[in-house]
């Protein structure tokens, strides 16, 4: 029986006020049927991955990127003594040819409520020579281990791609991911100051801190402890970064009093797993009254992904790698993802004897010598992307359960005239689409405030037929909607509106 401790902060402030709470991890049980997961039977093919030994995949708000090594055989391990392949500041236009690593990227538009997920053009990846990468509005960071050394690749606001040597090449299991928060990045066990490209191996800070399996997300850095039976520690990371020279003086707080070998964190939700026990669970760190939840499956667990209230558990059995997509608060998978773009189903792992679960099979190259998780799957909002080793697919997940969005709008209006639309109950910060129906017209895109409210002034398109129409507010990440009726009088001139081919 494990227990989880959320302590009072000492010297630092977590994203939400926390009090000292000790809770006991509930007895982990298999997910109980019956349940009815939604079948996703028509994913779109984003691009090819057949010539890549695929390791990384990232889904952003409007971009899907994937990367790996251009090798027919296993990916070779780099030399044990890293040295920079290029000097910091040098443009790396020929980086792919030097290393054999390559990122590819394609634009997409998520499901906006009245228009299904659609694909745009292939585009230049933010970091071209990398097997895994992460991006924000300000930074793009990639990891390239395929040349003569382990190399960090960074691009700032569309500038040239830069390179620097990483502090260590000691990449352990589960530590191959790349993450960015503010002006800091985490690349495996390396914490990187993106302004200077200097890096520090977290494992060198203290004999009781492990660099492997560290997590950087949403203002928190989480690491595993090596002393006193193993614990999990967290410290706050401001958006302007940490001083690498004073990392050994950071205040660390215990957030778990055991040491899971896999973790993922997003917006206060910590998902953890013990890969050998087949145990996974989650705990909300920003709610001192939250109870942890855990379950077991008859398989090992290879990787975790989390974004918002959704998370992915990647498990292996009988040579297959299966990813179950879950929601916080739900014990069963929420979606069924087909194999190879068809209708085949993966072996059931998340409940022995239950109906088919949310799953996609991802082949692994067992001959690879690299200690990266090698799991090509990611999600952003309702968009899930994955690879079967040949192609990269994307599909839209069901709306989050429990939505209760309310909206206001005038009962009457005039074509060509503005109207005020407000909403409440959306996910904090999520993208919001406002539509006019009967013939769907996208009026505006915006973002919800931190309290889940939204307000916009939209212009009703000129030429809209007189009569009763609907104004729909749609949360793009949650899938939650609210509809208000509006009676329109026609007008001869005005804004024609932004019409979207819904494909429906």
Per mean pLDDT, which of 92-96, 108-112, 135-139, 196-200 is the most reliable? 108-112
Distance CA 261, CA 214 (A): 10
Task: Say yes or no to pLDDT of 279 above 90.
Answer: no
Mean pLDDT of 101-126: 93
**Separation in Å, CA 7 to CA 233, 377, 458:** 10, 33, 46
- 63-69 and 53-59: which strand pairing? antiparallel
User: Tens digits of per-residue pLDDT, 419-463?
Assistant: 999 999 999 999 999 999 988 999 999 999 999 999 999 999 998
User: Tens digits of per-residue pLDDT, 461-483?
Assistant: 998 999 999 999 999 999 999 99
Mean pLDDT of 276-300: 82
Q: Which residues of 250-288 are buried (b: 16+ CB within 10 A; e: fewer)?
A: bebbebbbbbbbbbbbbbbbbbbbbbeebbbbbbbbbee
Q: Which residues of 129-160 are buried (b: 16+ CB within 10 A; e: fewer)?
A: bbbbbbbeeebbbbbbbbbebbbbbbbeeeee
Mean pLDDT of 94-121: 85
Of the listed ranges 26-30, 123-127, 254-258, 271-275, the least confidently predicted one is: 26-30
Task: Say yes or no to pLDDT of 348 above 50.
Answer: no
Q: Select from 89, 84, 95, 149 the least CA-distant residue to 125.
A: 95
pTM, two decimals, is 0.82
What's the token pair of residue 272?
Answer: 């953890």
Looking at per-residue pLDDT, the higher value among 120 and 274 belongs to 120
pLDDT at position 172, please?
Answer: 55
- Alpha helices (runs of H) in 268-377, residue ranges in sequence order: none
Distance CA 199, CA 211 (A): 13
Of the listed ranges 54-68, 280-294, 297-311, 337-351, the least confidently predicted one is: 337-351
Distance CA 320, CA 375 (A): 12
pLDDT at position 375, please?
Answer: 74
Mean pLDDT taken over the chain: 76
Distance CA 216, CA 345 (A): 34
Please list, in sequence order, all residues whose beta carbon lies within 8 angstroms of the beta carbon of residue 122, skipping any fewer than 6 positions away. 47, 104, 105, 106, 107
Task: Say yes or no to pLDDT of 35 above 80.
Answer: no
pLDDT at position 501, please?
Answer: 53
Looking at per-residue pLDDT, the higher value among 59 and 375 belongs to 59
pLDDT at position 424, please?
Answer: 97
Q: What are phi and psi of 30, to 5 degrees?
A: -70, 155
- In order, the DSSP letters of 426-448 are PPTT-EEEEEEETTTEEEEEEE-
Q: Which fold has domain 3-396?
A: Methylamine Dehydrogenase; Chain H (2.130.10)
Task: Say yes or no to pLDDT of 34 above 80.
Answer: no
Q: How many helices and strands (H and E) does the chain possess?
A: 1, 40
pLDDT at position 1, please?
Answer: 27
pLDDT at position 287, please?
Answer: 85
Per mean pLDDT, which of 153-162, 283-292, 433-442 is the most reliable? 433-442
Query: Do residues 131 and 69 lie in contact, with contact meaning Cβ atoms separated by under 8 Å?
Result: yes
Mean pLDDT of 70-83: 41
Task: Say yes or no to pLDDT of 372 above 60.
Answer: no
Task: Say yes or no to pLDDT of 411 above 60.
Answer: yes
Q: Residue ranges of the domains in the chain?
A: 3-396, 406-499
CATH architecture of residue range(s) 406-499: Sandwich (2.60)
Distance CA 235, CA 493 (A): 57
- 209-217 and 198-201: which strand pairing? unpaired
Looking at per-residue pLDDT, the higher value among 378 and 97 belongs to 378
Mean pLDDT of 342-371: 40
Per DSSP, 246 falls in state G
Please list, in sequence order, all residues whose beta carbon lies within 8 angstroms of the beta carbon of residue 361, skipping any fewer than 6 positions away. 320, 321, 322, 339, 346, 388
Q: Select from 434, 453, 446, 448 the least CA-distant residue to 497.
A: 434
- In order, the DSSP letters of 36-74 are -PEE----EEEEE-TTSEEEEEEE-SSEEEEEEE--SSP
The band of 399, judged by pLDDT with boundaries at 50, 70 and 90, is: very high
pLDDT at position 262, please?
Answer: 87
Q: Is the dihedral of CA 158, 66, 299, 327 positive or negative?
A: positive
**Residue 245, helix vs strand vs coil:** helix
The band of 353, judged by pLDDT with boundaries at 50, 70 and 90, is: very low
Distance CA 436, CA 422 (A): 14
Q: How many residues does the chain have?
A: 504
The band of 359, judged by pLDDT with boundaries at 50, 70 and 90, is: very low
Of the listed ranges 150-164, 273-287, 289-303, 319-333, the least confidently predicted one is: 319-333
Half-sphere exposure of residue 377: CA atoms within 13 angstroms, side-chain side: 27
Omega before 207 within 30 of 0, i.e. cis:
no
Task: Say yes or no to pLDDT of 25 above 50.
Answer: no
Please list, in sequence order, all residues whose beta carbon lies within 8 angstroms of the beta carbon of residue 123, skipping any fewer than 6 positions away. 63, 105, 106, 107
pLDDT at position 292, please?
Answer: 82
pLDDT at position 489, please?
Answer: 84
- Alpha helices (runs of H) in 24-179, residue ranges in sequence order: 95-99
- Matching residue, tokens 């309290």: 451
The band of 499, judged by pLDDT with boundaries at 50, 70 and 90, is: low
pLDDT at position 264, please?
Answer: 92
């Amino acid at each position: 029986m494990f227990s989880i401790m959320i302590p009072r902060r000492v010297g630092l402030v977590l994203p939400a006020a926390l009090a000292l709470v000790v809770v006991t991890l509930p007895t982990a049980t298999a997910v109980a049927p019956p349940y009815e997961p939604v079948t996703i039977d028509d994913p779109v093919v984003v691009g090819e991955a057949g010539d890549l030994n695929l390791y990384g995949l990232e889904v952003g708000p409007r971009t899907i990127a994937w990367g790996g090594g251009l090798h027919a055989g296993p990916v070779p391990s780099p030399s044990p003594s890293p040295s920079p392949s290029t000097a910091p500041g040098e443009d790396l236009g020929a980086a792919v040819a030097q290393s054999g690593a390559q990122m590819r990227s394609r634009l997409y538009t998520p499901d906006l409520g009245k228009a299904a997920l659609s694909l745009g053009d292939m585009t230049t990846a933010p970091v071209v020579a990398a097997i895994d990468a992460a991006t924000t509005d300000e930074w793009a960071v990639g990891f390239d281990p395929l040349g003569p050394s382990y190399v960090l690749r960074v691009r700032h606001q569309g500038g040239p791609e830069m390179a620097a040597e990483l502090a260590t090449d000691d990449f352990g299991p589960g530590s191959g991911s790349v993450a960015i928060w503010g002006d800091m990045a985490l690349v495996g066990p390396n914490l990187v100051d993106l302004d200077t490209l200097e890096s520090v191996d977290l494992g060198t800070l203290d004999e009781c801190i492990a660099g492997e399996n560290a997590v950087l997300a949403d203002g928190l850095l989480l690491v595993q402890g090596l002393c006193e039976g193993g614990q999990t520690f967290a410290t706050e990371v401001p958006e302007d970064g940490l001083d690498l020279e004073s990392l050994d003086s950071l205040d660390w707080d215990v957030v778990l009093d055991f040491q899971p070998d896999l973790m993922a964190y997003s917006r206060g939700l910590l998902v953890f797993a013990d890969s050998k026990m087949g145990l996974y669970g989650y705990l909300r760190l920003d709610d001192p009254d939250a109870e942890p939840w855990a379950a077991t499956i008859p398989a090992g667990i290879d990787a975790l992904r989390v974004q918002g209230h959704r998370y992915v558990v990647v498990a292996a059995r009988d040579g297959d790698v299966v990813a179950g997509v879950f929601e916080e608060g739900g014990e069963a998978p929420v979606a069924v993802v087909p194999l190879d773009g068809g209708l085949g189903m993966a072996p059931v792992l998340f409940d022995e004897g239950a109906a088919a679960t949310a799953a996609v099979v991802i082949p692994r190259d067992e001959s690879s010598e690299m200690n990266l998780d090698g799991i090509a799957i990611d999600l952003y909002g309702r968009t899930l992307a994955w690879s079967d080793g040949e192609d990269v697919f994307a599909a839209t997940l069901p709306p989050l359960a429990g939505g209760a969005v309310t909206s206001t709008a005038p009962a009457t209006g005039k074509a060509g005239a503005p109207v005020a639309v407000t909403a409440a109950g959306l996910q904090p910060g999520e993208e919001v689409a406002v539509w006019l129906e009967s013939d769907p017209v996208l009026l505006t895109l915006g973002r919800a405030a931190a309290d889940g409210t939204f307000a916009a002034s939209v212009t009703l398109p000129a030429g809209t037929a007189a009569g009763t129409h609907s104004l729909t507010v749609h949360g793009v990440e949650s899938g939650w909607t609210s509809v208000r009726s509006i009676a329109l009088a026609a007008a001869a001139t005005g804004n024609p509106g932004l019409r979207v081919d819904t494909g429906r």
